[in-house]
Amino acid sequence: MTKINYDYIEKYLDDLNDDYSLNVLRMKAIENKVPIIRRSSLKFLETIIKIKNPKNILELGTAIGYSTICLRKLANCKITSIELSKKNYNQALNNIEKYDYDNLKLYNLINCDAIKALKTINQGFDFVFIDCDKSHYKEYFNECDRLLKNGGIIVCDNILFNGQVASDDLVKKRDITIVKRLREFLVYLENLENYTTTFVPIGDGISISIKEF
């Protein structure tokens, strides 16, 4: 796997920032090859969350619940998370019960296609984390825009897709469509009039978009 940062730098920062309270769950995900947020990216999000202090978080891409639990604990608030895979959804429910049992009522997990699920949600959110099918980031972002309060933040993970988005020399044949759509998405974000967006080369790259009006 191509990385956008040097391995020794990422390892140093990961070790420095490591939160061992959920390390067992993280290792379980890695062993089972379940994609989860990198620790360097999570640590960066911690700073954003502490500044924003969101009351309601929306996550697209629950996987087995690692980032879901981390985000809820960081913000100490309610979180709604959407996951397409029934297997991952069930594992996430089990993990939330195991690692955050006292706060089960603060979780709302939805097992559904993200676009379909988003169309049924009417409540507002202060913070949105998108980490699912990269080829549909633009559609997800636009659906979330309707649900995001003014001053709210949308964060998209893996926007550099192992560096392929930034270099034609790295693009694999099977990833051509995803890379093309991610590039179009980043240009789209850069030119949105009602958002201010910053791209940060942490982990696999993240975008931070603040809704102005």
Contacts of residue 147, defined as CB under 8 A and 6 or more positions apart, other chains included, come to: 58, 118, 121, 122, 123, 124, 125, 128
User: How far apart, in Å, do the first and last CA atoms of the chain sit?
Assistant: 39
Tell me the mean pLDDT in the region 112-116: 97
So what's the pLDDT on residue 213?
79
Identify the three-state secondary structure at position 29. helix
Q: Which residues of 73-95 are buried (b: 16+ CB within 10 A; e: fewer)?
A: bbbebbbbbbbbeeebbebbbeb
So what's the pLDDT on residue 32?
87
So what's the pLDDT on residue 168?
92
- Tell me the percentage of the chain whose pLDDT exceeds 90: 79
Tokens encoding 134: 């990269």
Confidence class for position 1, pLDDT limits 50, 70, 90: very low
Q: For the chain, give percent helix, strand, coil, nearest 5.
A: 50, 20, 30
Tokens encoding 193: 């009039």
Asked if residue 91 lies in contact with residue 65, where contact means CB atoms within 8 angstroms, the answer is yes
- Of the listed ranges 9-18, 72-81, 142-151, 162-171, the least confidently predicted one is 9-18
So what's the pLDDT on residue 141?
98
* pTM of the model as a whole: 0.90
Order across the sheet with 125-130: list the strands.
Answer: 107-111, 78-83, 56-60, 125-130, 148-157, 206-211, 195-200
So what's the pLDDT on residue 9?
58
So what's the pLDDT on residue 109?
98
Amino acid identity for residue 130 in this structure: I
